[in-house]
Amino acid sequence: MPDTQPAVQLDHISRHYKMGENFVRAVDDVSLSVGRGEYLALLGSSGSGKSTLLNLIAGLDRPTAGAIVANGANLAALSPLELARYRRNTIGMIFQSFNLLPRMTLEENVDLPLRLAEVERSERAGRVREALERVRLTHRTGHRPSELSGGEQQRVAIARALVNSPKILLADEPTGNLDSTTGEAILSLLRELQTNLGMTIVMVTHERPLAERFADRLATMGDGKLLSTAPTTRGEAQ
């Protein structure tokens, strides 16, 4: 399945910063390649640097050293504006705490990336509906996020991440705020979307059993370093 060129190529990247007196190596010389259409789970305890790594791939942060090539673009060489465009068109992101804008309805939340991408108004409503259908949320779309359950909110967040048809979906602890049943449902939805849409998924999680069930490969981090990568049984089967 993976293309010859990887979706994300991390080449000796480091992210260091100073926190008060301390010098923190949040990500320390990590090299990793994520194939196209691959579902990679980043495991590790908190503070292991997995979220920082995800932010680097997302273009929300820049590495101190090393190069990141995502979807053919060297992120280090992009201007802030180009980086914003990259986030808008190539990346979709979901978060542990959903990060829906509380004052907007579900539809409006999903519409937001289309606004930022300056998609024509006439086209937007259809794309919003389509994205919501993919996550199987077609009723109560005029409600506000607070009126929904956590699982529903995360599905709206997924719809929002999908609406610009990104190549890469980045998920930061997507099940962290959900009970196990709902968390499983969300992960199987992600798996289904990945299969149907051919997306690449990089998911940060600390729940190894779930990761083993849904991801193709596990990458484990500790103290900012990549400790190991190993395919799951599912990944091996492919």
Partner 1 sequence: MKFQDLSDLALRNLREALLRNALTTLGVAVGVASLVAIMSIGVGLQQFTSKRLSQSGLFDTIFVTAKNNFRGMGRPQREVQTDKPPRPLDEDARRELEKLPNVIEVYPQVRFFTEVRFHNKPYATVVAGMPDSSRNSGAFDGMQGNFFSSASANEAILQIEFAKDLSDKPPSLIGQDLTLRYAERQAIPAAGGDSASSAGEGGGFSVVPKELHLKIVGIVETEPAAGYGGTGNARLLIPLDTASTLRAAQVNDLRDIVRGSNANKTVYPSLSVRAKSPSQVSVLEASIKNLGFNAFSLLDASKSLQIFFSLFDSLLGIFGGLALTVATLGIVNTLVMAILERRREIGVLKALGAADSDVRQLFFVEAGIMGFLGGILGVGFGWLLGRAITFGVNVYLKRQNLNPIELTSVPWWLVIVALVLGVVVSLLAGLYPASRAAKLNPVDALRYE
Residue closer to partner 1 by CB (options 38, 61) is 61
Q: Is 61 in the site for partner 1 (CB under 8 A)?
A: yes
In order of 88, 228, 238, the CA distances from 186 in angstroms are 23, 26, 22
- The residue among 155, 158, 205 whose CA lies nearest residue 182 is 155
Q: Is 88 in the site for partner 1 (CB under 8 A)?
A: yes
From 32-40, 66-74, 100-108, 142-150, give the range in contact with partner 1 by CB under 8 A: 100-108
* Count of positions on this chain that bind partner 1 (CB under 8 A): 28
Measured distance CA(28)–CA(42) in Å, rounded:
15
Residue closer to partner 1 by CB (options 67, 119) is 119
Q: Is 229 in the site for partner 1 (CB under 8 A)?
A: no
From 64-72, 90-98, 176-184, 185-193, give the range in contact with partner 1 by CB under 8 A: 90-98
Residue numbers 38-57 binding partner 1 by CB under 8 A = 55
DSSP 173: S
Residue closer to partner 1 by CB (options 45, 97) is 97
Burial 38-60 (b: 16+ CB within 10 A, else e): bbbbbbbeeebbbbbbbbbbbbe
Q: Is 112 in the site for partner 1 (CB under 8 A)?
A: yes
Q: Is 117 in the site for partner 1 (CB under 8 A)?
A: yes
Q: Is 125 in the site for partner 1 (CB under 8 A)?
A: no
Centroid of chain to Cα 126:
24
Contact in structure between 171 and 186 (CB atoms under 8 Å):
no
Q: Is 118 in the site for partner 1 (CB under 8 A)?
A: yes
Residue closer to partner 1 by CB (options 33, 141) is 141
Q: Which of 93, 148, 189, 203 binds partner 1 (CB under 8 A)?
A: 93
Q: Which of 45, 72, 84, 236 binds partner 1 (CB under 8 A)?
A: 84
Q: Which of 33, 64, 99, 141 binds partner 1 (CB under 8 A)?
A: 99
Measured distance CA(218)–CA(199) in Å, rounded:
17
3-state helix, strand, coil in the chain (%, to 5): 40, 25, 35
Residue closer to partner 1 by CB (options 43, 91) is 91
Residues that bind partner 1 (CB under 8 A): 55, 58, 60-61, 80-81, 84-89, 91, 93, 95, 99, 101, 103-104, 112-113, 115-118, 121, 160, 164
